Amino acid sequence: MLKLENIEHYYDHVYALKKVSIELNEGETVALIGANGAGKSSILRIITGLNKPKSGTVTFQGKAINKMSPSQIVQAGIVMVPEGRRVFPYMSVRDNLLMGAFSRSSKTEIKNSLDQVLERFPILQERYNQSAGTLSGGEQQMMVIGRALMAKPKLLLLDEPSLGIAPKLVAEIARAIIQINKEEKVSVLLVEQNSRMALRISHRAYAMTTGSVAISGKSADLLEDDRIRAAYLGGEV
Residue 72 clears pLDDT 80, i.e. is over it: yes
| 106 in any annotated domain | no
- The pLDDT, as a whole number, for residue 234 is 65
| 100 in any annotated domain | no
Residue 102 clears pLDDT 70, i.e. is over it: yes
Mean pLDDT of 95-111: 90
Residue 67 clears pLDDT 90, i.e. is over it: no
| 127 in any annotated domain | no
- The pLDDT, as a whole number, for residue 117 is 94
- Give the single-character DSSP code of 209: E
Mean pLDDT of the chain: 91
User: How many structural domains is the chain composed of?
Assistant: 1
Structural domain harbouring 80: 2-86+151-232
Quick one: pLDDT band at residue 237, thresholds 50, 70, 90? very low
Alpha helices in the chain (DSSP H): 40-47, 70-76, 93-99, 107-120, 122-126, 137-149, 167-183, 195-201, 219-223, 226-232
Residue 236 clears pLDDT 60, i.e. is over it: no
Which one-letter amino acid corresponds to residue 6? N
| 112 in any annotated domain | no
Quick one: pLDDT band at residue 98, thresholds 50, 70, 90? very high
Q: Is 35 helix (H, G, I), strand (E, B) or coil?
A: coil
* Higher pLDDT, residue 3 or 163: 3
| 228 in any annotated domain | yes
> pLDDT tens across 139-163, in order?
999 999 999 999 999 999 999 998 8
Question: Which CATH number does the domain housing residue 62 bear?
Answer: 3.40.50.300
Mean pLDDT of 119-145: 93
| 114 in any annotated domain | no
Mean pLDDT of 168-191: 92
CA distances from 120 to 71, 111, 143, 145 (A): 27, 14, 11, 11
